[in-house]
Amino acid sequence: MDKGLLLALINQINAEIYSSYLYLSMSSDMTHKGFSGFAHWFQIQAQEEMIHAMKLFNYVNERGEKVIMKSIEAPPTEWETPLEVFKATLAHEKTVSESMRSIYKIAREVFDPATEIFLNWFIMEQVEEEANASELIQKLELADHVPAGILMLDKDLASRPDLITIAQSGE
């Protein structure tokens, strides 16, 4: 594998683990503020990000390369409101999307079609991640500081199935 592409993939593994760490921090902050549904949503996001990291990790290993783990930066720990935390989520997901597109571009430039094909899933996943964050921002803006609306959304997000339940059901 091209060394520049390998480095980009390893950096993305680090970024995915950071994303998980960030979402756990957001979950903790939402728990502390009494929003258990938002906290639950972010816990599941954290699980998803670790799955993304492991997909990349396994791919690099399957290609016969070694993943060199890096330090994970400490994420922010506090946001003023649920709206603010979801705006931060969208900004973060846009950064991840740009990173994935950059890796895809490298794979194309060094003519590594296997990596291009592998990255297609991640690129489409990022479309979904940005859409989910945007939708929640729209709902929170619609609630516009109406406590009942925010609490209804919090309750709705608490019903999101966790990944362990999904895995056990075979979905």
pLDDT tens, position by position, 65-75: 999 999 999 99
Residue 76 DSSP one-character state: P
- Which band of pLDDT confidence, cut at 50, 70 and 90, is reported for residue 168? low
Please state, as a whole number, how many other Cβ atoms lie within 10 Å of the Cβ of residue 58: 11
Percent of the chain scoring above 90 in pLDDT? 87
pLDDT of residue 128 exceeding 90, the answer is yes
Whole-angstrom CA distances from 133 to 59, 104, 127, 157 are 27, 23, 10, 12
Looking at residues 135-154, what average pLDDT do you find?
91
User: SS3 for 80?
Assistant: coil
What's the pLDDT score for residue 169? 60
Structure tokens at 166: 């999904």
What's the pLDDT score for residue 145? 75
In 3D, which of 79, 72, 100 has the Cα closest to residue 35?
79
Looking at residues 6-28, what average pLDDT do you find?
98
- CATH number, domain of 60, equals 1.20.1260.10
Q: CA–CA separation, 170 vs 24, rounded Å?
A: 25
Total domains present in the chain:
1
112: region left, alpha or beta (phi > 0 left; psi from -120 to 50 alpha):
beta
Query: 69: domain range?
Result: 3-169
Whole-angstrom CA distances from 141 to 56, 87, 117, 131, 147 are 35, 11, 37, 15, 12
